[in-house]
Amino acid sequence: MIELPALGWQSIVIFVVFAVSLLIATYCTYAERVIAAFLQDRVGPDRAGPYGLAQPLADAVKMFTKEEFFPGGANKALFVFGPCLAMITALMSSAVIPFGNNLTFGNNAFFLQGIEVNIGMLWIFGVVSLGVYGVMIGGWASNNKFSLLGAVRAASQNISYELAMGMALIAVLMMSGTLSLREITLQQSVAGEWHFWNIVKQPLGFIIFCVCAFAETNRTPFDLPECETELVGGYHTEYSSMKLGLYLFAEYVNIFVVSAVMSVLYFGGFNFPFQYELRDWFVNSQGWELTSAQNLITILGTLGLFAKIFGFIFFFMWIRWTLPRFRYDQLMRLGWTILIPLAVINILITGGLILFGVIQ
Amino acid sequence: MQLTNRAKKLEKKPMTLAERAYLPAIFQGLSITMRHFFMKKATIRYPEETRPFSPVFRGLHVLKRDEQGRERCTACGLCAVACPAEAITMVAGERKKGEEGLYREEKYAVSYEINMLRCIFCGLCEEACPKAAVYLQPDKMAPPRFERDEFIYGKDRLVEPVSPDQRSVRGIQLTPEQADTLRNKMAAQSA
Q: What is the CATH number of the domain that holds B120?
A: 3.30.70.3270
Residues B51-107 have pLDDT tens digits of 888 888 888 899 988 877 788 889 999 999 999 999 999 999 998 888 888 888 889
Pair B62, B137: CB distance under 8 Å: yes
Query: Where does the pLDDT of residue B173 fall: very low under 50, low under 70, confident under 90, or very high at 90 and above?
Result: low
Q: How far apart are CA A184 and CA A176, in angstroms?
A: 6
Q: Is residue B5 part of a domain?
A: no
Predicted local distance difference test score (pLDDT) of residue B174: 59
Predicted local distance difference test score (pLDDT) of residue A115: 77
Q: Do the interacting molecules here have an ipTM over 0.90?
A: no
The Cα of A5 is separated from the nearest Cα of chain B by a number of Å equal to: 49
Pair A245, A287: CB distance under 8 Å: no
Q: Is residue A78 part of a domain?
A: yes
Q: Is residue B191 part of a domain?
A: no
Predicted local distance difference test score (pLDDT) of residue A5: 53
Q: Is residue A24 part of a domain?
A: yes
Give chain B positions within 8 Å (CB) of A38. 36-37, 41
Predicted local distance difference test score (pLDDT) of residue B87: 92
Q: Is residue B51 part of a domain?
A: no
- The number of angstroms, rounded, from the C-alpha of B181 to the middle of its chain's C-alpha atoms is 31
Give chain A positions within 8 Å (CB) of B20. none
Is A190 touching B (CB cutoff 8 A)?
no
| Nearest CB partner across the interface for B41, out of A42, A319, A322 | A42
Selection from B155, B157, B156, B89 nearest residue B119 by Cα: B89
pLDDT at residue A9 tops 80? no
Give the pLDDT mean for A94-118.
79
Q: Is residue B23 part of a domain?
A: no
Q: Is residue A344 part of a domain?
A: yes
- Per the structure, how many domains does chain B have? 1
pLDDT at residue B187 tops 60? yes
Predicted local distance difference test score (pLDDT) of residue A311: 92
Predicted local distance difference test score (pLDDT) of residue B31: 92
CB contacts < 8 A (A, B): 37
Predicted local distance difference test score (pLDDT) of residue A360: 64
Q: Is residue A150 part of a domain?
A: yes
pLDDT at residue B167 tops 70? no
Q: Is residue B154 part of a domain?
A: yes
Q: Is residue A360 part of a domain?
A: no
Is A337 touching B (CB cutoff 8 A)?
no
Query: Where does the pLDDT of residue A341 fall: very low under 50, low under 70, confident under 90, or very high at 90 and above?
Result: very high
Top-ranked range on mean pLDDT: pick from A123-127, A277-281, B85-89: B85-89
Q: Is A318 in Cβ contact with B33 (below 8 Å)?
A: yes
In the Cβ-directed half-sphere of A255, how many Cα atoms lie within 13 Å? 28
Interface of B with A in 69-128 (CB under 8 A): none
Residues A37-70 have pLDDT tens digits of 999 988 888 888 888 888 888 888 888 888 888 8
Shortest CA distance from B38: residue in chain A: A38
Q: Is residue B28 part of a domain?
A: no
Shortest CA distance from B26: residue in chain A: A323
Interface of A with B in 250-289 (CB under 8 A): none
Quote the domain boundaries for residue A65: 6-355
Known binding-site residues of B for [4Fe-4S] cluster equal: 73, 76, 79, 83, 119, 122, 125, 129
DSSP A163-183: HHHHHHHHHHHHHH----HHH
Quote the domain boundaries for residue B105: 61-181
Is B40 touching A (CB cutoff 8 A)?
yes
Pair A163, A216: CB distance under 8 Å: no
Predicted local distance difference test score (pLDDT) of residue A344: 92
Q: How far apart are CA A3 and CA A183, in angstroms?
A: 26
Q: How far apart are CA B61 and CA B57, in angstroms?
A: 12
Q: Is residue A325 part of a domain?
A: yes
Predicted local distance difference test score (pLDDT) of residue A315: 92
Q: Is residue A263 part of a domain?
A: yes
- Per the structure, how many domains does chain A have? 1
Pair B81, B113: CB distance under 8 Å: no
Residues A129-188 have pLDDT tens digits of 888 888 888 888 888 888 888 888 888 888 888 888 889 888 888 888 888 888 888 888
Q: What are phi and psi of A65, to 5 degrees?
A: -90, 0
Q: Is B33 in Cβ contact with A322 (below 8 Å)?
A: yes
Give chain A positions within 8 Å (CB) of B32. 322
Give chain B positions within 8 Å (CB) of A46. 45
Q: What are phi and psi of B152, to 5 degrees?
A: -85, 105
Q: Is residue A1 part of a domain?
A: no
